Chains A and B, each alone.
Chain A
């Protein structure tokens, strides 16, 4: 059963507090002390944190007002949206509106060295308890924005993942979120805490597939990548046309490790991504790749932050977007190279195609360098399709619309080409093509 919020005043925070109080009451019977403690800590922090407004430099081009207006209710476990497909074979974990769908997940057949369970379960394990609490609390106490404690307050059955040191996972892990609201607007709060220990290798994907209705997916992802490890993280965002998504993803990376983050943003009415990588030592590589395609009145905003604080690290960032109709794209890429981060290589590029006079793209690459022996470059472009190329293709008999679509696809393909895994590359390409077909329909 969905718990309805009684609007008592216009203050959004008060509404969330009320929702929280009602929820806690109904959960009391089946909730451990530790999870309840994290939730109430989150609520306390949320009550003291303002939601960002456009006066804040980081939210200049995105208003959160549409996210705060609806009377959100929480999903109940009994709602069953259709089940989305995983991008490929491997270990698949399904969620329905953010709630773990155990029956359809591969939780019982996990390979050696891999632990996946609910955060609630992890809190009951002697070996995991302390670090989960420490990690989650640390993230919630000083959040980058109010959506983080909002997630902490309302997340139920967040996921805990740990890969043991020295383990190379031969199958990929797919987190598949099927989201749908058939009635009142739903507040969905997925949470994923991943610890990848040293000398380990793994790849995970997250798919967010919408099946209609109004809902807000408010994601909190926290990863810790141990020394000399390789971790790839993919996000395929296919939310419903009336849905919202806020994604807070952050990775703490240790010595000699590589973290690669791939983002394909196709769905949603208003989407805001925050991707943060913190490099804790030397020899680290961070790769951030993203492609987005906005149609109709979609608003797709990505903010990335790469913090270079130690020498001999590298970051590569490529984001490309296409905006048409009345869509609005935002890219804000911040790279800081601190004074001690000598020999840093930081590359950042954001290129965009704006295809209609009513579409808007705001891009703000921000490179702040305080070290003197570094190689850093950044570039940003906003442009249109090259008419010479269109003409060339047409002169070879390709119809105008087809020629344009080919060139747009090629434009975004440059991002996808950084996906080295064949089936994921193919999956991402197929999603793009499907969206192009929708755009031209």
Chain B
């Protein structure tokens, strides 16, 4: 193997930075899943009767369903009785100020670089932090509530805003939508809830940081965001987990509802533990994310940078029901070592004059497999739908794979559907060229990768874009980081 190939390998084999565990006192259930466990979770969270029943009916549906195996990923069978379905930091998180927070927890968040402290007000990001399954801290609640914006943990929303939760929960992702959504509906523990009232433009980025800390636990959070008529919100989500040898399951559900002329921008930087270099351990990230563009001129924009998880299986989607509604999906998915990703989006055009854009950038390194799977569907009655899809794959090294599965289903002749796909290889040629022009190897690799991802990074909020860029450098650079 030549030196530049070796450099590429080095660059793509750095260590996970967030793999520490914290000694936070945790209360958790015994392993296993049954109606009793579902009831116990609901009871623990002091939920109303309707929600307990909702969970139970989802559980019963789940029992009848089988795990899907159509994604282009391979993993050993999951023993659903070997998972702890509820774990929470023991100290009941009811804080008036940060001084009361478990100092170990604070240290955890500091190590993660999450701006929890009031001193980070200047950062202008409101944060909800979810550790294992429970929301531990939401900042800026007061400032936001003055505008009528609700930003709180899901549990709190169930208690404080039961009507809103009851109206919208499961309205975009029905409990029996798919195997993992059904599982989540039965056992979800916490998550974030956002409501933006009519005509309000949320003045800051809302953000949730998810962290799996305890061993043997699954994380099943639920996010529900409702943007009422004419409102705007930009929401960020970040995820990390400690390094553990066993695989851990993360099966989340995210539902977005965008009313007339409302816009939701949802950005994710997913950096769950990907497993070690031999492919041992890591998070199974099986997530259902879907947004409903309910009203005319509504818009939902997904942006994701996926660098973590042993297996990623997610398709943030948009149902374009309102006339003139817009759906967007911008994705960078990086797989390294033995990671597997099967990710993409669905754009379902139902209303007239709807528009969707899909920009997907896959980067495969090591011996990883990276698949784009996307569906564009134009219903029979949807006049003048327009979709543009661009799916690019970048291969680093020659032991990895990239796959593209576009599904275009067009039932209305007035539709305009455009699909472009490219596959290219970052290799000795590009590196040699840049180096011959005087650039160092590391700078050359960064230049190539950042150039490739530029269209997606441009869609991320400023702060996140910087973070994403750094994360990418870390994921792909050993000698520097």
Contacts and interface: CB of A to CB of B under 8 A. Distances in A.
* A–B contact, 8 Å CB criterion (strictly below): yes
Nearest to B386: A383
A377 B422 contact: yes
B427 interface: yes
Contacts of B384: 384, 387
B414 A373 contact: no
B416 A382 contact: yes
A428 interface: no
A417 interface: no
B200 to A, nearest CB: 29
A169 interface: no
Contacts of A338: none
Nearest to B410: A382
Given A372-B398, A384-B414, A377 B421 contact: yes
A323 to B, nearest CB: 12
B395 A372 contact: yes
Interface residues of B, number: 19
Interface in A356-372: 357, 369, 372
Contacts of A383: 386, 414-416
B264 to A, nearest CB: 24
A402 B178 CA distance: 52
Q: How would you classify the secondary structure of chain B's contact residues: helix, strand, loop or mixed? A: strand
B417 to A, nearest CB: 7
A5 B395 CA distance: 62
A379 B418 contact: yes
Q: How would you classify the secondary structure of chain A's contact residues: helix, strand, loop or mixed? A: strand
B423 A369 contact: yes
Contacts of B424: 373-375
B90 interface: no
B423 A374 contact: yes
A41 interface: no
Interface in B403-458: 413-425, 427, 429
A379 B423 contact: no
A326 interface: no
A354 B413 contact: yes
A334 interface: no
Contacts of B417: 381
A378 interface: yes
A404 B427 CA distance: 48
A378 B391 CA distance: 11
Contact of B423 (A343, A354, A376, A381): A376
Contacts of A379: 418-420
Nearest to A383: B416
A381 B416 contact: yes
Contacts of A374: 423-424
A404 to B, nearest CB: 16
Contacts of B386: 383
Contacts of B416: 381-384
Nearest to A353: B416
Nearest to A375: B424
B236 to A, nearest CB: 32
Nearest to A382: B416
Contact of B418 (A343, A373, A376, A381): A381
B422 A375 contact: yes
Interface in B365-402: 384, 386, 395, 398
A373 B425 CA distance: 6
Contacts of B422: 375-377
Contacts of A384: 384, 414, 416
Nearest to A384: B414
Contacts of A357: 413
B350 to A, nearest CB: 19
B362 to A, nearest CB: 15
B154 to A, nearest CB: 41
A381 B427 CA distance: 33
A382 B419 CA distance: 12
Contacts of B421: 377-378
Contacts of B419: 379-380
A190 to B, nearest CB: 37
B90 to A, nearest CB: 53
Contacts of A376: 422-423
Contacts of B420: 377-379
A263 B418 CA distance: 23
A28 B222 CA distance: 89
A427 to B, nearest CB: 31
A350 to B, nearest CB: 11
Contacts of A387: 384
Contacts of B427: 373
A339 to B, nearest CB: 14
A366 to B, nearest CB: 13
Contacts of A380: 418-419
Nearest to B414: A384
A324 to B, nearest CB: 14
Nearest to A357: B413
A379 B413 CA distance: 17
B326 to A, nearest CB: 14
Interface in A319-359: 343, 354, 357
A376 B423 CA distance: 7
Interface string A371-407: 0111111111111100100000000000000000000
Nearest to A369: B423
A376 B391 CA distance: 12
A354 B412 CA distance: 13
Contacts of B398: 372
Interface string B269-293: 0000000000000000000000000
Nearest to B422: A377
A374 B423 CA distance: 7
A283 to B, nearest CB: 15
A354 B415 CA distance: 11
A112 B398 CA distance: 53
B399 to A, nearest CB: 12
A387 to B, nearest CB: 7
A96 B130 CA distance: 83
Contacts of A372: 395, 398, 423, 425
A354 B386 CA distance: 15
A382 B413 CA distance: 8
Nearest to B408: A380
A376 B94 CA distance: 56
A379 B416 CA distance: 12
Interface string A273-312: 0000000000000000000000000000000000000000
A343 B429 CA distance: 10
A46 B384 CA distance: 48
A382 B414 CA distance: 8
A343 B428 CA distance: 12
A335 to B, nearest CB: 13
Interface in B248-273: none
Interface string A171-191: 000000000000000000000
A76 B160 CA distance: 94
B73 to A, nearest CB: 21
Contacts of A381: 416-418
A381 B385 CA distance: 12
A382 to B, nearest CB: 7
A375 B417 CA distance: 22
11 contacts: A343-B429, A354-B413, A372-B398, A374-B423, A376-B422, A377-B420, A377-B422, A378-B420, A379-B418, A383-B415, A387-B384
Given A375-B422, A379-B418, A383-B386, 18 more contacts: A354-B413, A372-B398, A373-B424, A375-B424, A376-B422, A376-B423, A377-B420, A377-B421, A378-B420, A379-B419, A379-B420, A380-B418, A380-B419, A381-B417, A382-B413, A382-B416, A384-B384, A387-B384
Closest 8 pairs (CB-CB, A-B): A383-B416, A373-B425, A379-B420, A381-B418, A377-B422, A375-B424, A377-B420, A379-B418
